Structure 1
Amino acid sequence: MTFRGLNEHSLDSKDRITVPAQYRASFADGIVLMKGVERCVEVWPAKAAEEMEATTLGRLNPMSRDARRIQRRFFAHSESVELDSAGRVRLSRQLIEHARLDGRCIVSGMGSRLEIWSPDEWFSEDEENEQLTPELTESIAAIQQPASPGGE
């Protein structure tokens, strides 16, 4: 499944957030919560997180201090969790503080994962992204080879 769109949600008094119903089946095998690079919480289906970790973080050279630092940043600050019977997931205090969550939340689709943002952080990031879109599009086009029409 590809995660798309924006949804507004709230943290309840037990620091739980309801996962949008259309996405719950994607999390049947578990969820990995991670500190986002920006001030958000990344919500990965367990299998997608394992694949991402194996193909990116797991391939870094353990003899490199920078590699160890980035691995530590992601692995030490991630948690494996399950949806409860009501389709909610509990966020740790560490993740809530990182994302500056306080009540209302924005859940953003990011293709392979979801992100949870405070509204203030989301709108600030989204505004900056809007301004940078032409520049980012050109930069990414320069480093990514387009797929051939036949998929070869």
Structure 2
Amino acid sequence: MATFLGTYENRLDSKGRISVPALFRAQLPEPHNQTVILFPSYRAAAIEGCAMDFIEQLGESISEIDLFSDDQDDLATSLFSDSQPLGMDKEGRIVLPAELMAHAGITDRGCFVGKGPLFQIWQPDALAAHKAEARQRARTKGLTLPIRPRRDGGA
């Protein structure tokens, strides 16, 4: 499974293309290593992105909810109805769909932010504010994270 790390700011060209960071591209597993899945975040004015294997894992998780329940329908609709698989050109660029750009307020620049199995694309100023707010909430709440043993038995 891909692990996306770091923050990278890139410019959109006149055709609406933006380069996916090389370190993100390197994380995309075969056979879909030239495809990213993008969808609007329902928690923030940002675009969510992931590899095909992670969107499949999310689908499996949603399928564990009662098929015709409101919860299952709400999650499936929120996640899959606006998801778009986007192929990269040979330079590693994707064309950001207009509706996703509008959702995130992106015009000429976008910041790719690694979030483990997901990444997000933000308007740069909105990202700076979001990072500051997230760090402050974490400090205020005294959030910590226990280190769990690795699943593969490693240290």
| TM-score above 0.5 | yes
Q: Report the Cα offset of residue 30 of structure 1.
A: 2.2
Asked if 1:26 corresponds to 2:31, the answer is no
Asked if the contact 2:4–2:27 (Cα under 8 Å) also holds between the matched residues in 1, the reply is no
- Summarize the alignment of residues 14-93 of structure 1 with structure 2, pairs less than 5 Å apart: 14-27=15-28, 28=33, 30-37=35-42, 38-55=44-61, 57-93=62-98
Distance (whole Å) between structure 1 residues aligned to residue 134 and residue 72 of structure 2: 27
Distance (whole Å) between structure 2 residues aligned to residue 84 and residue 2 of structure 1: 22
Query: What's the CA shift string for 1:103-145, capped at 9, x where partnerless?
Result: 111110111122100012211211110111131625xx6xxx7
Corresponding residue for residue 2 of structure 1? 3
Task: State the percentage of identical aligned residues.
Answer: 27
Asked if the contact 1:29–1:45 (Cα under 8 Å) also holds between the matched residues in 2, the reply is no
When the two chains are superposed, the root-mean-square deviation of aligned CA atoms in Å is 2.2
Amino acid at match of 1:83: M
Q: Report the Cα offset of residue 89 of structure 1.
A: 0.9
User: Could you list the runs of 5+ residues in structure 2 that have no partner in the other structure?
Assistant: none
User: Could you list the runs of 5+ residues in structure 1 that have no partner in the other structure?
Assistant: none
Asked if the contact 2:65–2:71 (Cα under 8 Å) also holds between the matched residues in 1, the reply is no
Using structure 2 for the length normalisation, give the TM-score: 0.82
Does the residue aligned with 2:73 lie in a helix, a strand or coil? helix
Q: Report the Cα offset of residue 52 of structure 1.
A: 2.4
Does the residue aligned with 1:121 lie in a helix, a strand or coil? helix
Amino acid at match of 1:48: F
Does the residue aligned with 2:91 lie in a helix, a strand or coil? coil
Corresponding residue for residue 120 of structure 2? 115
Evaluate the alpha carbon distance shift between residue 122 and residue 83 of structure 1 in structure 2; reply closer, same or farther with a 3 A threshold: same
Q: Report the Cα offset of residue 91 of structure 1.
A: 1.2
Q: Which has the higher helix share?
A: 1
* Number of residue pairs matched by the alignment: 145
Using structure 1 for the length normalisation, give the TM-score: 0.83
Query: What's the CA shift string for 1:51-72, capped at 9, x where partnerless?
Result: 22212x2322233223312210
Distance (whole Å) between structure 1 residues aligned to residue 8 and residue 127 of structure 2: 12
Q: Report the Cα offset of residue 148 of structure 1.
A: 5.1
Asked if 1:13 corresponds to 2:36, the answer is no
Amino acid at match of 2:19: T
Does the residue aligned with 2:84 lie in a helix, a strand or coil? strand
Corresponding residue for residue 147 of structure 1? 148
